Amino acid sequence: VSERTLVLIKPDGVARGLVGDVIGRIERKGLTIVAMDLRTLDADTAKAHYAEHSSKPFFDSLVEFITSGPLVAMVVEGPRAIEAFRGLAGLTDPVKAAPGTIRGDHALEIGENIVHGSDAPESASREIKIFFPDRF
Ligand code: CMP
């Protein structure tokens, strides 16, 4: 009954020194990190990852931001891992995200919201294949 989700600590989270905080929350929750890599995305990978947002007005800035520096990509596993991590992350808009969540504690801007987590099993398997094609 285990599930996998793709988690990104975005360039703002890495630049602000929040890698340890985010990893600590994942571990304390009881989820397991089964793959992890620090890397800077190229534009093609970023566009593939965010394909569902390609028609949105913020798509270009989203791609620019996510490629702007190193990020940490992880595959996180556990019971209902997708929902569990989204609970840790808080709402997409950090102003609305509850205090006690990653975004609620650390961010104010929707475009710079520290972390990404897959939103459904189909997107999780699609995103995991983009980031770790030969491991899962
Ligand atoms: P994420 O979970 O990575 O998935 C899509 C991202 O688009 C989202 O987090 C936000 O960071 C970003 N996003 C959503 N809405 C906006 C917006 N209105 N302006 C800029 N970025 C946005």
pLDDT tens for each residue of 75-106: 999 999 999 999 999 999 999 999 999 999 99
- 3-class state of residue 105 by DSSP: helix
Residue 136 lies inside a defined structural domain of this protein: no
When pLDDT is averaged across residues 68-75 and rounded to a whole number, the result is 98
Residue 75 lies inside a defined structural domain of this protein: yes
Q: What is the ipTM of this complex?
A: 0.92
Structure tokens at 71: 């990020």
- Determine whether 49 is an active site residue: no
Closest CA to 62 of 75, 88, 43, 77: 43
Residue 39 lies inside a defined structural domain of this protein: yes
The reply to whether 135 sits in an annotated binding site is no
CA torsion 25-72-108-52 (nearest 10°) is -110
Residue 96 lies inside a defined structural domain of this protein: yes
Structure tokens at 11: 């360039």
Residue 58 lies inside a defined structural domain of this protein: yes
Q: How confident is the model at residue 119 (pLDDT cuts 50, 70, 90)?
A: very high
Residues spanned by the domain of 7:
2-131
The CATH number for 74's domain is: 3.30.70.141
In angstroms, the CA 53 to CA 15 distance is: 24
Residue of minimum CA distance from atom 1 in ligand 1: 116
Per residue in 13-52, pLDDT tens? 999 999 999 999 999 999 999 999 999 999 999 999 999 9
pTM of the model: 0.97
Residue appearing with tokens 């949105």: 56
Number of domains in the chain: 1
Residue of minimum CA distance from atom 11 in ligand 1: 111
1 burial (CB, 10 Å; 0-12 / 13-18 / 19+) is exposed
Ligand 1, pocket-test mutation among 60, 82, 93, 113, most atoms within 8 A of CB: 113
